Structure 1
Amino acid sequence: MKLKGGIIGLGKMGISHAAIVSPHPSVDMVAVCDTSAIVLDVFKKFSRVKLYHDYVKMIEKEDLDFVVIATPTRLHYPMVKHALEKGLNVFCEKPFCMNVKEGMELEELAQKKGLINQVSYHNQFVGTFRELKRLLKTGVIGELVHFTGEAYGNVITSDKGGTWRSDPQEGGGCLLDYASHVINLIQEIIGRPVKADGSVRKNIFSFTVEDAVYSMLILENGLSGVLSVNWCDETYRKMSTTLNVQGKKGKIICDATEIRIYLNESNAKEKLDKGWTIKYITELAIPVDFYLRGEEYSAQIDHFIRCVIDKKQTEINSFEQALYTDKVIELIIEDSKK
């Protein structure tokens, strides 16, 4: 029997998730919800799903197994809470919540209810970053000495506002939108940050939110590294995220397209020569049945659905892990006020 799913929020990410969920062999997407009549009219023309303006009514009337919540961040808390209270498994867009207090309540509720929960930090499903995590676990570059986590893009290139990105109440700002991705990668691949130092949230074009974030992060294992994020860099066509990890035996530079490994000496077990070795995403991508924007978007949905079917909580991007990312964000915010 197929799972019955619903989508709440039909912006760019909601439509992307709907396109992936709809043809999934294990899912019957029965309903979608959005406040825009124009968007719902389009769905009415091209699909047979039930349409709702009110997510509460959709959850009350439809016999759903799970919901995908792809709304502005400020709406995550009430929507996720209502879905959990009604016994639904939840896949939620990132960042998780507007503050740690909200996230803690939702994480505890999900645990209490025994419901599958996942947050859409899709980079965890990018083949190159998964390979980086695997290689670091093998100790291939020895004891780690430093790291940098970077993300650059050209989202904001003038001082005009008017979108959610310029509204802090909507979850706008480079820290929540861009830096959250990098923080999440750092905590799950290298180690969990426990302190932020020298943090700067810099305005470049925006007046109400930061356009760049710089911070030194101290991890629970004592390792330190630098976070550098800027969404006003016109030298980038689109967002580019990179982790650079240095060890006593070499270093690894990883982004979404390739992973570059430099070793001081060859490693026979990993079949890596001395010097540089490059592995490309084409070698490392997770196979998926439906490709949209990147394998990782389908892979994360596949993973969530598999967890719901197996009734086994995810070990990737759970509410607890996403909540920790929110905690690091708050560390940076508080440190930047000093």
Structure 2
Amino acid sequence: MINVALIGAGKMGLSHLAILGAHPEVKVVGVCDTAKLITEALTKYSGFNCYTDYLEMIEEVKPDAVFVAVPTKLHAPIVEKLIAKGIHIFAEKPFGLNPEEGIPLVKMAKEHNIVNMVGYHTKFVGTFQEVKKIVDLNLIGDIYHFQAEAYGPVVIKNKQNNWRADPSEGGGCLMDYTCHVIDLLNYLIAPVTEVYSSIIKPIFSSHVDDAVYALMKLDNDVTGVLSVNWSDETYRKMSTSITIIGTKGKIISDASELKVYFKNEFDCPPGYSKGWNVKNVTELTEDVDFYLRGEEYSAQIDYFIQAIMGKTENNINTFETACQTDQIIQMIKQKAVAL
């Protein structure tokens, strides 16, 4: 049994808490939040040990692992203290407000042999996992172009008074939305190594960006386009998709549906045929013990717990890959064209 504590009981923190509470190999030993309204409600209705000071909680409950779901600006000091205490860490994304915060933490986690993970849940979606398999097997030939996209209705009016409008809190489409797409792109094809140019565009916001567009090159010399807009009300919720074009085929995938085109019959893996193939996420997703908002959220937590138990490798969504995503975000900022 892995003893787990949570720091930050906001939207994502409570989601993690629900999944952790139902995990057969986890015991939730403490929850910390600075809002007494939240801790009092949890104490009354959940039975969890609740705290307003995370250091006090750590000393009293001595967890094996901690989930850090606080604002991004608070990640670095909390994570540093947890690593020093030998505690395994799951942190919400993005890892830091800049890569300079994350680089020393990557080194520390390795030195202290800490199992570490950042909450880029999209990698655990069945359709994107299938894309990864197809790309790794080189089944669509030499890739020469990609288009990585995400759209959603987060900011669709001028007045915004929450953290999403504050760059010092990790607000803005680039930090909050685009990071998911970059991280997925790095994983599915190859890491971004160059940003030729970018546009960071406000639409309704005054202090942060609402749309991000960029021309990029990957580590394998594949080039493509990034297009993200969180002010698109034609979408009910965030929709992330990727198009990958190769010499022997084409992939178009989002979190719900995978479409693959194979030019030749002999390039097709089992279950596929020449021409267009369409598979729904339900065909490609493994069952999880507890469903909340999508199987991927439970799957990523189970992966983290299994890594702590030594049952799987700790090589997906690590501090290192998340810090790499932070570095690319910085590159996009540096290459932004003045509007």
Compute the TM-score of the two structures, normalised by the length of structure 1.
0.97
The gaps in structure 1 that reach 5 residues or longer are none
Q: Distance in 2 between matches of 1:326 and 1:23?
A: 32
Which residue pairs with 2:30 in the alignment?
A: 31
- Give 1:45's aligned amino acid: K
8 Å contact kept, 2:153–2:237: yes
8 Å contact kept, 1:144–1:223: yes
Q: Distance in 2 between matches of 1:143 and 1:316?
A: 25
Which residue pairs with 1:4 in the alignment?
A: 3
8 Å contact kept, 1:116–1:313: no
8 Å contact kept, 2:262–2:268: no
- Give 2:225's aligned amino acid: V
1:311 Cα offset (Å)? 7.6
Query: How many residue pairs align between the two structures?
Result: 337
Which residue pairs with 1:334 in the alignment?
A: 334
1:235 Cα offset (Å)? 0.4
Which residue pairs with 1:134 in the alignment?
A: 133
Deviations 1:228-259 (A, max 9, x none): 00000010000000000001111000110010
1:337 Cα offset (Å)? 5.6
Residue 285 and residue 269 in structure 1: after superposition, are their counterparts in 2 closer, same or farther (change >3 A)? Answer: closer
Q: Distance in 2 between matches of 1:313 and 1:59?
A: 26
Aligned to 2:335, what secondary structure does the other structure show? helix
Which residue pairs with 1:209 in the alignment?
A: 208
Residue 215 and residue 66 in structure 1: after superposition, are their counterparts in 2 closer, same or farther (change >3 A)? Answer: same
1:74 Cα offset (Å)? 0.5
1:199-278 map, 5 Å:
199-266=198-265, 267-278=267-278
1:47-126 map, 5 Å:
47-126=46-125
Percent identity between the aligned chains?
47
Aligned to 2:16, what secondary structure does the other structure show? helix
Q: Distance in 2 between matches of 1:139 and 1:175?
A: 31
Question: Alignment RMSD, CA only?
Answer: 1.2
8 Å contact kept, 2:139–2:248: yes
Which residue pairs with 1:145 in the alignment?
A: 144
8 Å contact kept, 1:145–1:246: yes
8 Å contact kept, 2:90–2:118: yes
Aligned to 2:22, what secondary structure does the other structure show? coil
1:287 Cα offset (Å)? 1.7
8 Å contact kept, 1:116–1:311: no
The gaps in structure 2 that reach 5 residues or longer are none
Deviations 1:27-83 (A, max 9, x none): 110100001111112101211211111111111222110000011110111111111
1:137 Cα offset (Å)? 1.2
Q: Distance in 2 between matches of 1:286 and 1:83?
A: 32
Q: Distance in 2 between matches of 1:193 and 1:326?
A: 11
Q: Distance in 2 between matches of 1:212 and 1:64?
A: 40
8 Å contact kept, 2:139–2:268: no
Q: Distance in 1 between matches of 2:134 and 2:240?
A: 18
Aligned to 1:310, what secondary structure does the other structure show? coil
8 Å contact kept, 2:148–2:225: yes
Which residue pairs with 1:44 in the alignment?
A: 43
1:127 Cα offset (Å)? 0.6
1:314 Cα offset (Å)? 1.1
Aligned to 1:139, what secondary structure does the other structure show? coil
Aligned to 2:252, what secondary structure does the other structure show? strand
Which residue pairs with 1:294 in the alignment?
A: 294
1:184 Cα offset (Å)? 0.4
Task: Please identify, of 126-135 and 281-290, the stretch whose mean Cα deviation from structure 2 is larger.
Answer: 281-290
Aligned to 1:16, what secondary structure does the other structure show? helix
Residue 268 and residue 240 in structure 1: after superposition, are their counterparts in 2 closer, same or farther (change >3 A)? Answer: closer
Deviations 1:95-120 (A, max 9, x none): 00111111001111101101100000
